[in-house]
Amino acid sequence: MRRRYKRGYFVAVLVGFEEKRAVLWQIFSKIVKHYVKVEMDISSNKALYNFHELVVDKLRPLLQEGVRSIIITAPMKTNYAKDFLNHVQKHHQWLFQKDNSNNTTFGELVGSAIQLHQVSELIKTKEFRILLSEKTSEDADQIIDTLEKRLNETDGVSAILYSLKDIEKLVNSQLEHSKLKPEYIILTDKYLADTKMKNRVHRLLQISKNKNIKTRIVKVETKAGVRLSQLGGLVCFTKTNQ
């Protein structure tokens, strides 16, 4: 029989840079999963620029899932990580726009993350755990800031849903025929662990992913998690379907 394992929920993206290549990893709450390797085409006149653009292109579908925390690593005494971050800041300002669902938090760490054994060692370090906690908390706080603004809006172009039943109904509907479109589904890890409707929640998250609706699970003990708990632990941002 095929052995099953639990990967947990998607937490962050780890990008390991070395000379002429990068490897992207998905950091889940229980495991790390290899995503893709990107090689530099040294025959191009714009080799470095095209390489960095390709890395950004590979990040796009991961960011679309709702995780906005990215940790960049490179070996000591190299500029690979800084060069990429400089490229992103120069050419992809959409990743840094406040009050925008695309707003992304970047963290930089010295280390190698090309091979699985290197990643396994890296994520055990105190430095990595602290940086991951900082960046995911920043990410979650930005989402909650957006939530608070949505709660205070009176223009009628958005709404907040709090019940699993209502969110399921909206997500499962034919979105083009609905006045509201789900934009972001956020829940706490405690809500996911304690709910008696775990299968329904997992199904909702999978359907949302398939429909390119952003989802995010945050730790209950964080500032964002506390606020979500006050609202029941599960929230869905919506916007008017134009």
Quick check: 100 and 237 in contact, CB under 8 A?
no
Q: Is the pLDDT of residue 2 over 50?
A: no
Asked if the domains at 10-139 and 153-240 fall in one CATH topology, the answer is no
Give the CATH H-level superfamily of domain 10-139: eRF1 domain 2 (3.30.420.60)
Query: Which single residue is written with the structure tokens 């006050």?
Result: 230
Quote the longest CA-to-CA distance of the chain.
57
pLDDT tens, residue by residue, 37-96: 999 998 878 999 999 999 999 999 999 888 889 999 999 999 999 999 999 999 999 888
Provide, rounded to the nearest whole percent, the portion of the chain with pLDDT above 70: 91
* pLDDT at residue 5, rounded to an integer: 46
* φ/ψ of residue 87, rounded to 5: -65, -45
Q: Which residues of 206-215 are buried (b: 16+ CB within 10 A; e: fewer)?
A: eebbeeebbb
Per DSSP, the three-state class of 231 is: coil
pLDDT tens, residue by residue, 173-206: 854 556 778 888 999 999 999 999 999 999 999 9
* pLDDT at residue 117, rounded to an integer: 96
Which CATH fold topology does 153-240 show?
A: 60s Ribosomal Protein L30; Chain: A; (3.30.1330)
Q: Is the pLDDT of residue 97 over 80?
A: no
**Which residues sit opposite 38 in a β-bridge?**
22
Question: Helix, strand, coil: what percent of the chain each, to 5?
Answer: 45, 25, 30
Minimum mean pLDDT among 11-20, 139-148, 198-207, 227-236: which range? Answer: 139-148
**pLDDT mean across residues, the chain:** 88
Q: Is the pLDDT of residue 241 over 90?
A: no
* pLDDT at residue 88, rounded to an integer: 96
> Domain ranges in the chain?
10-139, 153-240
Quick check: 18 and 80 in contact, CB under 8 A?
yes
Minimum mean pLDDT among 13-22, 82-91, 213-222: which range? Answer: 213-222
CB under 8 Å to 194, separation ≥6 — which residues? none
* pLDDT at residue 99, rounded to an integer: 61
Q: Is the pLDDT of residue 156 over 80?
A: no
Instruction: Between 139 and 242, name the one with better pLDDT.
Output: 139
